[in-house]
Chains A and B, each alone.
Chain A
Amino acid sequence: MDSVRYDAERRGHGVPIALKILIAGGFGAGKTTLVSALSEVRPLQTEEILTGASIETDDLSGVETKSTTTVAMDFGRITINEDLQLYLFGTPGQDRFWFLWDELAFGALGAVVLADTRRLADCFPSIDYFEQRGIPFVVGVNCFDGSRRFSLEAVRRALDLDPDVPMVLCDARDRQSGKAVLISLVEHVARQRGEPVPAA
């Protein structure tokens, strides 16, 4: 198929570079809120279809009688410049949609795992997923109104996080706060490459 191109370097072709960032975390941790706060457009939604092919590989007890089922995905966009765009994808909450995570994570720059201190264990599956696949991630501790504030160190211990995984307190509703989380992720990715981004 000569009309399909794999561009390692697309600048100058008139086609921007699109970088994917995943926003993960347990149900109600603020994923959709964070995507909304950061996206320059109203967050968009699309659907992916779970076909018979994926049903064979995923154990979906109880849905065998349906030939297809759809999974909604939230995503948002941040245009950095005319050659560079960030796409933020909220990951579907249910564990049975792991196949969709693989599609989202393929080629992703990295991930933000949102943690809710009232239900810390809810973000364990996300952390396991990114650790196992070597995808760089940061943990954003979403400060909900009225939720008990824990020290970041206490949360790090509870999550059994590697010392080099950045943790950031954040408010998923606040754009500036969300930006700070994304910046810490990109800086983390750069550090993993051994080329720290110089501070501005």
Chain B
Amino acid sequence: MRTDLPGHQHEWLDDDAGPVVRPYTLTGGRVYSDANGFDLVAYVLARPEPDLAAYPELHPEHRLLVELARRGTPLVELASDLDLAVGVVRVLLGDLLSRGLVSVHQPPRATYLPDNDILKAVVDGLRAL
């Protein structure tokens, strides 16, 4: 993903070669998944005591994702923790969802605005920081 890898010293890897590791290598080239529409701040929560041994086909990154999501964690933080692009994490999440290993809590839809209690809590919380 990073273009500033030491590999750039090699003459056959110039800027035109693009990233040394293609972002979607990890997903076997899959770009779309059931998790495509997930918001950046959708909370991902691992099922309690997930039986990962039953799914030998999962990559180490899948397993890390489940581990990180033991405590409910927003998608964007998982991507940052794993140092993977958000789009890649969405595909991995789709794999975990279809196996019932995680649940995803989407934030309220766009038409919903937080109620006044929430806004007041935000203002009070900011003032207290």
Contact = CB atoms under 8 A, between A and B. Distances in A.
Instruction: Tell me if chain B binds chain A.
Output: yes
B58 interface: no
B95 interface: no
A15 B104 CA distance: 10
Given A8-B108, A66-B18, A87-B76, A51 B122 contact: no
A100 to B, nearest CB: 10
Interface of B: 1, 16, 18-19, 22-24, 31, 34, 39-41, 43, 45, 72, 74, 76-77, 79-80, 85-88, 97, 100, 102-110, 112-114, 116, 118-127, 129
Contact of A4 (B79, B88, B104, B120): B104
Contacts of A65: 16
A18 B97 contact: no
A107 B85 contact: no
Interface pairs A-B: 8 shortest CB-CB: A80-B125, A18-B41, A44-B80, A47-B85, A46-B79, A49-B87, A3-B103, A195-B116
Contact of A109 (B109, B114, B127): B114
B106 A6 contact: yes
Given A5-B105, A7-B107, 14 more contacts: A4-B106, A6-B109, A7-B105, A7-B106, A8-B112, A19-B114, A44-B77, A47-B1, A48-B87, A78-B129, A107-B39, A182-B126, A187-B123, A200-B123
Contacts of B116: 190, 193, 195, 197
B79 A193 contact: no
Contacts, number: 155
Contacts of A198: 120
- Looking at chain B's contact residues, is the secondary structure mostly helix, strand, loop, or mixed? mixed
A80 B122 contact: yes
12 contacts: A18-B107, A19-B41, A46-B86, A49-B87, A51-B31, A70-B19, A78-B125, A179-B126, A190-B116, A193-B113, A193-B119, A198-B120
A46 B24 CA distance: 15
Contacts of A45: 80
A175 B34 CA distance: 39
A122 to B, nearest CB: 25
Nearest to A53: B31
Contacts of B109: 6, 8, 107
Contacts of A154: none
Contacts of B97: 1, 3-4
Nearest to A50: B87
A71 to B, nearest CB: 9
B121 A49 contact: no
